[in-house]
Every structure is written in C-alpha cells, then in structure tokens.
Chain A
Amino acid sequence: MKLNTKDLLSAGLFIAFAVVGLWLNQDHNLGTARRMGPGYMPMLTFWLLIGLGCIVLLLGLFNGPDPLAKWSSAEIGFLIAGPVVGVVVGMIAARIPGFPSAGWNAFGIGLFVGCLVAAVPPGWRALFLPSAAFTLFGLALEPLGFLVAIIAAVICSAFADKEHLERPLGVAGLCTFLCALCWAIFIRYLDIRVPLWPQL
C-alpha cells in the first residue's frame, strides 16, 4: 500500500473545514462579480480549499506510505473521552448560577476538564497538560488574582515533565521566581489591569 495517512487526514481537514464554511456562508449575500457581497470572497476561498483538498487527497493515495505514530487503545479512548467529558462538564457548568456560568467560565471549565481527562494516558501529557495549565490560568486570573493564577498554572504544567515530580522544591522555586518576575514586568512596569490578590 502506498497510502499517505498524513496527507489523507490533511485533505480531510481541508475539505471538512471548507464544507462547513460553505454551509455557513449560505447566510451571506453573494452579490455579483462587479459588486461583491460579504459572501463572495468566502465562496471563492472555500471552493479553492476544497479543490486543493481534493488534490492532496489524490496525491495522498500514491505518495505514501507515511503512517501516523501508533496509538495505544488507552490513548485513543481518552482522546475521544476528553472532548466528550469537556462538553458535558461545560454544559453542566453553564447551568450552575454564580461563578461557573458567568462570562466565558463555563467554556473554560469545560476546556480545562476536557484537557485533564485527555491527559490521563502518559503519552498525551506533553500535549494536554500545558494546554490545561494555560486554560487554568485564564480561569483563575479574574477571581483568584494574578499570583494564584501563575502558581496554579506552573504547578499544572509541571506535571508534563517527569523530572519536575522528583524535585518539588524546583517547582516551588520556579513559582516564586515567575511571580516576582511577572509582577515586576506586568504589574509594576506595564501596569496591566488585573487583580493581584484573590477577589473575595
């Protein structure tokens, strides 16, 4: 077999994105070539993307083999479970009054939980723990303040590297250093508008 899995998946990505785009573009007025409406350029772009996707697809049938790395069944399972759990948790959070449903919090909670669930198999930790840490920073920043958000995000991201777990003191040192540095740059010098301490 000469199937190029990476090319076939890329083609799938292009075509799927373009088809969804074309479907959404039905709401926009196309106009004429002379007086283009808001929908004209999207139409051209998405059809071009479909065309390119088809070329990649055709080439991908012959220029392989280029398989993806092998995934264990746990990795596949949690990769699917992550987004599912994330969406469910996000929808539940949106119904709870107060903090969980305010602003983008429900979205953030869903994203965070989804990333955590997907990070259960060791193979996915490098991918999903930094993402989870980044989301956690966003979640914690406004209610808990700048410093707590930094510490939470550093600790969460530290789990992505095995060596950190053996040296908890190093992580603590890193937290202190980053808190001091970020305070000096962002609060003291740039004066960005964020709460520094938890908002009770």
Chain B
Amino acid sequence: MDLWANLAHGFSVALTFNNLLFCLIGCIIGTAIGVLPGIGPVATISLLLPITFGQPATTAIIMLAGIYYGAQYGGSTTAILLNLPGEVSSVVTTLEGYKMARRGRAGAALTVAALASFFAGCVSTVLVAASGPLLTSVALSFGPADYFSLMLLGLIISAVLAQGSVVKSIGMVVFGVALGLVGTDVQTGQQRFTFGIPELSDGIGFVSIAMGMFGIAEIILNLEKPEARSVMSGKVGSLMMTREEVRRSIPSVLRGTTVGSLLGILPGGGAALSSFGSYMMERKISKGRHEFGTGAIEGVAGPESANNAASQTSFIPLLTLGIPANAVMALMVGALIIQGIQPGPRMVEAQPDLFWGLIASMWIGNLMLLVINLPMIGLWVKLLAIPYRHMYPSILIFCAIGVYSLQNNVFDVYQTVFFGLFGYLCSKLRLEPAPMLIGFVLGPMMEEHLRRAMLLSRGDVMVFVQRPISATMLAIGAIALIAMLMPNIRKGKDKALLE
C-alpha cells in the first residue's frame, strides 16, 4: 500500500540527525514550558519562530510541533504533583491527579498520564497519516467559493468555541481580518493602510503580533498578580501501577483518545477543550465515577490522552486544507509562509518530506517524551524553583532579539511593543487574542478566494449557496451560530470553559 511507502519515506526524513536533534530540542523545550506556569506554547512558539528561519522548513515544523505536544506532557507533571496546571489543557488533571498524589499514588498518576499520552499520540498520528491524503483529494475539488466558505466556517467555529462572549470573539476575528488588510493589494499593487511606511508594505509583521499579544502581554499579566508557587510535599512514590489501576485506565484512555482526536480536528478546538470534554465524559460514564473527587485514575487517564490526541489531530486541517484550527496552528501557518510554503491541499504532494516527515517525527517525539519525562520527573519539578522574576527578563530579551533579527529592523521591535500594550488592553476587556490571530492569518487568503469566486460567478453572490460544498459549510456555520444563541447550550459552554 502507498501509505507504508510514504511512512517509510517519512521515517527516512525524520531519522536524519538534524531532524532528530531538533525534534528532541522541541520536546525538551515543550516539556519545560509545560511544567512552568506563566509561559505557554503560543508564546514559546512565537518566540522561537525567528530562530527556525535558518532551518529547512521540515526541521522547523518538526521542532515547533514538538514544543506543542511536549507541553501537553509537561503540563500534567506539575498538575499532579503540585496542583498547579502548567498549561490550560492540564487544568482538569489537577482535579483527580492531585488527589491521587495526596493519597500517595503520585507515581501511578504520572505513569498513567505519560502512558495515556503516549498511546493517544500514537493513535492520533495514524489518524493524521490516514486522513491526510484522503482529505487532500477531497480538497483538490474545492473551488474558490468553497474555500471561502470553508475559511468562514473555520473562523466562525473558532470564535464560537473561544472563551467568553461569542459576539466579542467574532468581533476579534473581524478585527484580525482588518489588520490583515494592511499592506500591498495583491491584484493591483496598491498600498493599503500603510501610511507611507515602507515597513508596512508587506503587511503587519505576523511575528510582531504573536509575540506582542501572547508573549509580552502575558509577561505583563503575570507580573501584575503576586507569585504563588507551592512547594512539593511528599514523595512521588513508586511509578508502578497496580493491576487494578491498569484495568480501570484502559477504557478511559480509549475514550479519551477518541474524544481528543475528534475535538482536535474542530477549528477552535485543541488540547484544552478536549481534555475538559474527556473529563466530563469520564465523570458521567466511567466505572469509577463514584470515586471522582477522591482521586480516580480515570480522571487522569482520560483527559491526558485526550489533550495529547487533540494536539496532534489539530494538525489535520492545517496540513490538508491549510486552515489553522487554533492559535498554535496559526503560528505554524506563519512559519510555513515565511519559509515560502503556501499551506493548502497541494502541500501533501508538493512537500512530501514535510508532511510525512512531520508525522514520523510525531511518533518519534512521543517516544522521546516518554523517556525524558518519566525517569526525569524530579529534574523537571526542580525547574519550578526558578522564580518568575528571573524568567520574565529572559523572555523579554529573547522576544526582542528574535523580532529584530527577522528583518534587522528596529521598526519590528517598536511594533511589537504596541501589540503588547494592545494585548494587555484586550485581556482587560475580555477580548480573546486567539481568534484575532486566526483572523489575521486567514484574512488575506479569504480576500483572494472571495475575489476569485466573484469573478468566476460574474458578481453573483448566489454562488456561495449554489455550490453544494460551499452551501454545506455555510449551513454548518449558521447552525453553530444559532446554537450559541440558545441559552442552554451557551450556559453549558461557559460552564465547560470556566471550571
């Protein structure tokens, strides 16, 4: 079968020394920032984007992907041991994981978290490999109108699933699209909204926005609230799980992997949403549900497999359709575009090294993570001894050098300061930055598809509802919007995201 030949090719790419090295570096950095609260994958990836430009595209993406799924592993460690979620996606792990640690089963909780993540990672990688070529062949029959509707659907769902008010999130999406308009118009060459500034003729720097809104704004917000670092009490204990614990975890891992894989593909979904979805499910239907609240192993196994599965399946829409499902994937689009690769359905065929190499590297990366996490847990926990006052100047300096080195221009540095202040304002007004970033990335592509679609249809708007694919996308988007207007569903979502 073709799949095997492709996978073999992927492994031959991923197993080169350079790619292995950067996969390892990505996994280590990912675990580190997963352990450390106060810096997340979005900030780290935007921070490291400039460093990857010197690398070949495949190596760069392999490393950045390693950071994303590595963070899911690392986040669970502090959640279990210290009741301190290193990432949003491990918030629910604290609920049962920390209780298990208090009962003296910390070692078992860590083991099940790592093994569940590993299993989910392997399964979801197969899913990415299998669905890639399939979805790509579907996507190749898309016309401009279908693309436009698909992107619109992606934007709507990412806004609907974002935290807080849906209208404000959609507003932020449109805001992002508007920022994406700055620069030279592709078809006529006219400068739009550049105020005569030559630096803006290529558009606002993507890295500046990401670093400002996610890097600097996060530093400011962390500095504002007093530091709360708990110290680990008690011992990790034996890493071995009892037979009973293994038996109880297996169905939860299977369910978690399924939930995570499905929710990861959704635009706006991703690790955080799926770990919560899995937790809710385990609390309702697992055999150990009456033990929830006292340290049920199902409550660790399910969510931990779900968040890792989701962090990998969220690559599916990116690699096959060129549509980012969440803010991390929006950064990947940015990384690809800067490398001169247009994400889209042709990528699987045009860049087989990248697609299959990335898939193979995910497998290898998951294995590496298992090895660097379990035996070295003590080492990772020691990272927490670094006070934030030493971390934030370092992050700041890395951001500054990175953003300058993009084009050797200080304008980018000042631009980043503006977006940092703006990001702070947004968080105070409860405006979500992630939908804005996705809007900013998709905006220029949407404009192009819209113009092309309207040209082909001779100015007839009906083309969007006459083409079946496009009409389906718009219908799903409309249903999602209407569903959010229903008070019951909206309350359910708010509850799900707030807890």
Q: In the complex, are the beta carbons of A194 and B405 less than 8 A apart?
A: yes
Number of interface residues of A (CB under 8 A): 72
Q: How many residue pairs at the A-B interface have CB separations less than 8 Å?
A: 187
Q: In the complex, are the beta carbons of B174 and A49 less than 8 A apart?
A: yes
Q: In the complex, are the beta carbons of B459 and A38 less than 8 A apart?
A: no
Closest to B446 in A: A41
Contacts of B188 in A (CB 8 A): 29, 37-38
In the assembled complex, the Cα of A164 lies from the Cα of B404 at a distance in Å of 27
Contacts of B399 in A (CB 8 A): 134
Q: In the complex, are the beta carbons of B192 and A108 less than 8 A apart?
A: no
In the assembled complex, the Cα of A46 lies from the Cα of B180 at a distance in Å of 12
Contacts of A161 in B (CB 8 A): 223, 388-389, 392
In the assembled complex, the Cα of A192 lies from the Cα of B399 at a distance in Å of 14
Given contacts A49-B171, A111-B417, A193-B408, contact A134 B192 (CB under 8 A): no
Contacts of A108 in B (CB 8 A): 410, 413-414
Interface residues of B in 49-64 (CB under 8 A from A): 51, 54
Q: In the complex, are the beta carbons of A126 and B220 less than 8 A apart?
A: yes
CB distance from A191 to the nearest CB of B (A): 8
Counting CB contacts under 8 A, is A76 at the interface?
no
Contacts of A178 in B (CB 8 A): 393-394, 397
B 416-443 to A, binary, CB cutoff 8 A, 1 in contact else 0: 1100110011001111000000000001
A 24-37 to B, binary, CB cutoff 8 A, 1 in contact else 0: 10001100111111
Q: In the complex, are the beta carbons of A49 and B389 less than 8 A apart?
A: no
Counting CB contacts under 8 A, is B219 at the interface?
yes
Number of interface residues of B (CB under 8 A): 63
Q: In the complex, are the beta carbons of A9 and B397 less than 8 A apart?
A: no
Q: In the complex, which of the residues B219, B389, B410 contacts A103, with contact meaning CB atoms closer than 8 Å?
A: B410
Q: In the complex, which of the residues A35, A56, A138 contacts B400, with contact meaning CB atoms closer than 8 Å?
A: A138
In the assembled complex, the Cα of A182 lies from the Cα of B399 at a distance in Å of 11
Interface residues of B in 130-164 (CB under 8 A from A): none
In the assembled complex, the Cα of A130 lies from the Cα of B398 at a distance in Å of 13
Contacts of B245 in A (CB 8 A): none
Counting CB contacts under 8 A, is B455 at the interface?
yes
Given contacts A35-B455, A38-B192, contact A131 B178 (CB under 8 A): no
Q: Tell me the A residues contacting B by CB distance below 8 Å.
A: 6-7, 9-10, 13-14, 17-18, 21, 24, 28-29, 32-38, 40-42, 45-46, 48-49, 52-53, 55-56, 59, 68, 103-104, 107-108, 111, 115, 126-127, 130-131, 133-135, 137-139, 141-142, 146, 149-150, 153-154, 157-158, 160-161, 163-164, 170, 174, 178, 181-182, 185-186, 190, 192-194
Task: Give 8 nearest A-B pairs by CB, closest first.
Answer: A34-B459, A138-B413, A126-B223, A38-B185, A138-B410, A33-B459, A137-B400, A192-B405
Given pairs A28-B192, A41-B181, 19 additional interface contacts (CB within 8 A): A9-B429, A10-B168, A13-B431, A14-B171, A18-B178, A33-B461, A37-B188, A45-B443, A126-B220, A130-B216, A131-B216, A134-B416, A135-B413, A135-B417, A138-B413, A138-B414, A154-B397, A160-B223, A186-B405
